[in-house]
């Protein structure tokens, strides 16, 4: 809860900035490809851009430790204490409702940090939004292929999966990853 106010403030600030400085230039470009739907398409595009920036910055600067604790606490509550203990000290005792309180020192941070490559890839896919409907769907699917598996970085680390095992796991669940990222974006 202590991270909620800073994260909301960051998100509101980024969204306000994006609408003030990027909405008009983007709508001017989208008018040529989307016609009368340009205003709506641009609103969705700016919201998507703002969401991505907020996610990257808040995860990197504000909530990474909380995400790890939540993930590990959930695994402990589900009876996977031995799995979590591979990468973290676990305090004994406690009920399932106290799973996060049982978490001790973390031995390694699993989440991939923000990289310039991720930003370049995002901007490479961004022009897909110029194609009405189909382009936006393609953009969401491609983003889902990238960001969906990142949500399971901790799981992959705890399971000791190699790069090839992770790729196989993700390939088998590609549709689910794309759908979950799309649903998260809607929420």
- DSSP code per residue over 99-133: TGGGEEEES---SPPP-HHHHHHHHHHGGGGGSTT
Q: Supply the pLDDT for residue 5.
A: 93
**For residue range 31-84, what is the model confidence (pLDDT) as tens digits?**
998 888 999 989 988 998 899 889 888 888 888 788 888 888 888 888 888 888
Q: Supply the pLDDT for residue 6.
A: 93
Domain that holds residue 29: 4-186
Q: Supply the pLDDT for residue 80.
A: 87
Flag residues of the chain having pLDDT under 70.
93-97, 108-115, 118, 144-148, 177-187
Sign of CA dihedral 50, 56, 61, 66: positive
Report how many domains make up the chain.
1
Q: Supply the pLDDT for residue 10.
A: 96
Q: CA end-to-end span of the chain, whole Å?
A: 19
Q: Supply the pLDDT for residue 33.
A: 85
């Amino acid at each position: 809860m202590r991270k909620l106010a800073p994260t909301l403030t960051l998100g509101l600030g980024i969204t306000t900035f994006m609408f003030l400085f990027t909405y008009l230039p983007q709508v001017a470009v989208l008018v040529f490809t989307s016609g009368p739907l340009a205003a709506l398409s641009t609103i969705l595009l700016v919201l998507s851009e703002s969401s991505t920036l907020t996610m990257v910055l808040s995860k990197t600067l504000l909530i990474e430790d909380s995400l790890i604790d939540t993930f590990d606490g959930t695994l402990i509550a589900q009876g996977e204490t031995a799995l979590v203990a591979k990468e973290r000290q676990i305090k004994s005792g406690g009920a399932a409702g106290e799973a996060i309180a049982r978490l001790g020192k973390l031995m390694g941070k699993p989440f991939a940090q923000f990289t310039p490559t991720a930003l370049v890839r995002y901007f490479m896919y961004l022009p897909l939004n110029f194609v009405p409907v189909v382009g936006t769907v393609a953009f969401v699917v491609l983003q889902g292929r990238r960001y969906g598996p990142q949500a399971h970085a901790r799981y992959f680390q705890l399971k000791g999966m190699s790069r090839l095992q992770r790729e196989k796991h993700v390939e088998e669940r590609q549709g689910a990853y794309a759908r979950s990222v799309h649903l998260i974006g809607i929420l």
